[in-house]
Every structure is written in C-alpha cells, then in structure tokens.
Amino acid sequence: MRGVVKMEIKAFYRLTDANLNRAREGLRALEDLARFVLQDGALAERIRAARHNLQQTAANLSAVCLAARDVNQDPGASYPEDPHPSARGVAIANARRVQEAARVLEETARYLAPETVAQFKRLRFLSYELEQLFAARLAPEEKTSFLRKLRLYVIVGSAHTAGRPVVSVAQEAIRGGAQIIQLREKELPAKAFFETARALREVTAKAGVPLIINDRADIAAAVGADGVHLGQEDLPIAAARRILGEQAIIGVSTHSVAEALRAEKEGADYIGFGPVFPTRTKPEYAAQGLEALQKVLSQVRLPVVAIGGITPANLPAVIKTGVKRIAVVSAVASAPDVAASAALLLKMLEGSY
C-alpha cells in the first residue's frame, strides 16, 4: 500500500511539473507578443510579473518536480501541435494553455501544497483576461492579413444554386478554392435564413473558411459567422460593429468612388465594388465598368473586391485593372461543376493559368 501511495505522489509531482512548464511557456509567449507585436511595454511587464510570481509560488515544489520529471516516459511528448496561422491565434492558444495549466495546478496543489491554491487561481483568472485582451487587440491584424491574401470570394444563396442545396454548393466551392463564403438570401424568412446559415457555419468552420452573412448582422451574430456584408441601405457600419464586435469582418457594397471613400471613412474592412459588368443578380444597378474600378483602386486604401458579371472570359481584363480580389455568384454557384469553376478562377487570379 505504501508503494502505491509513493507512486501516486510521484505521478502528482510529474503532473505538476508538466503544468508548471506549460504555464511558464505560455506566459513567456504572451509576454513576447505584448513586447514585440503589440509593442506594449506595460502589458509585457504585467505578464513578466505574473511569470515571476508563478516561479516564486512554485519555488518549494520546483526541486521535487524536477526530480520526478521523466520526459522519455511521457506519452504527451509526441502529441501533435495545432498550427496557429496568425499572431492572434498564437496569443489565444497560449492564453488557453495557461488557463488549462493553472486549473490543473490548482487541483494538484490541494494535494501537494494547499497554500498555493489561491495563487494558481489568480493566475487562471488573469489568463482569461489576457485571452480577451489579445483577441481584441490583435483582431485588426488578423483581418488585415487575411483580406490582403484574399483572392476568390464566393456568394451562395438558394436563388443561384440551380436547385441544388446551398450548403452542398458551398462545400464544392470551398473544395475548388473559395477563400471566403457569403450567404445571401434576399427572400427567405428569418427562420429559414437562420437554419441555412447555421448549417453553413458548421461547414465553413470545419474547412477553416470565413463565413459572411449578407445584410443580417443579427443572424451573423446568432450563428457565430465571421462577419457581415452591408448594402447602402442596411445598418450603419458602427451599429453592425456593436453587434458583432471588433473582430468581425465588415464589408460594404459600393457603386461609386464617393460611396467607396465613405465606407472606408466609416470603418469598413473591405469594399465590394460593382457591378463591373451587367449582371442578373443585381439588375437594378448599371454596370460601372473597368475604368470606374480603376478609379476606386487608385483612391481607396481598403481591400477592394470587384463584383458583378465576372466570368473566366472577362477576368483577364478585370485583372489588368490591378484588382486582386473578385466576388462571384453565378460563375461558381450556378456552374455545372462548382469546384472546377472555382478552381479555374482562382488559378487565373493567382497567375498560374
């Protein structure tokens, strides 16, 4: 019996050692992000102080934990690491690493060092705060990085999928290379719109592709979409931002240089400009043409997404204006082979066709 207890105590020390390491490493990553990415000395110092406080809290445990360490027998050493493609992703992952480690340390401390439980609990709540802080402050950087790389934006809706399920068409578009999906449903009742959006959110989240909801910030918020696309008569950008938060991607449809500049001034993350060519999707708007697109590109600093009547046949002329991003509806969603159509457009945009 005594041997069993001794083995259990050693296991608890190994458990504590692993989580002390995780917490220290996570705090150090956050400290460096605050220092070098946010360039916030005060925040970096606050995290550094938390890291040093952790070392002091665990001072009486460190020696015995180190002696109990057995890396070669740790099955966790070979666990795969998930990729974090942005500074925001790295920050959130490390804040959560600290949270999880602090929670485990609280529990093991009740057994090994009850006097340290309160300190580990304070660290856990600090890490909750840090996750929220980094997520908010790095949201613009993540959005900017994504939109800078964006090339193919596909819009789906029940009116433009040739009778096929919207979610299936979106899946095929993503398979072909669509980098963002927008759900546009002008006629569906709110409940049906919500149900489609919720199903589409599951698909896009699994694929790692952002989902934008057309017009309806409320539905975007309800399904956890990545943002909303607004028309000229929809909610003001500031109101949509209050509903969805700073991390949301908010785009605006524009049809002139003046509208594009106003959207930029009011805080849009990107603008859609068009229709470049005549389109059955929005017959009420006259085609703006390539010259107007060039004028917008020369005067607006935001990412510009060209939209309206764009097909593989006229895309070379669109690309010559200097635009890097296009949005399409019929050219992909109504195509007989959705994935192949998306893949062709993406190849042309990337210059590999």
Q: Does residue 184 carry a catalytic annotation? A: yes
Q: Based on the residue annotation, tell me whether 282 is a catalytic residue of this protein.
A: yes
Strands (E) across the chain are located at 152-156, 180-183, 211-214, 227-230, 249-254, 270-273, 304-307, 325-328
Distance between CA atoms of residues 233 and 254, nearest Å: 11
Phi-psi category of residue 118: left, alpha or beta, with phi > 0 → left and psi -120 to 50 → alpha: alpha
Q: State the catalytic residue, choosing from 88, 184, 201, 241.
A: 184
Q: Tokens 């993406």 belong to which residue?
A: 346
Catalytic member of 158, 253, 334, 341:
253
Nearest to 255 by CA among 230, 225, 276, 227: 276
Q: Determine whether 6 is exposed, middle or buried from the number of CB atoms within 10 Å of its CB (0-12, 13-18, 19+).
A: exposed
State the binding site: 182-186, 214-215, 234, 253, 279-282, 309, 329-330
Strand, coil or helix: 154: strand
Please state, in angstroms and rounded to a whole number, the distance separating the CA atoms of residues 118 and 121. 5
Annotated binding-site ranges for Mg(2+): 215, 234
Q: Which residues contact 88 (CB under 8 A, 6 or more apart)?
A: 134, 135, 138, 139, 141, 142
Among the listed residues 198, 282, 295, 324, the single catalytic one is 282
Say if residues 261 and 272 touch (Cβ distance below 8 Å): no
Q: Which residues are catalytic?
A: 184, 253, 282
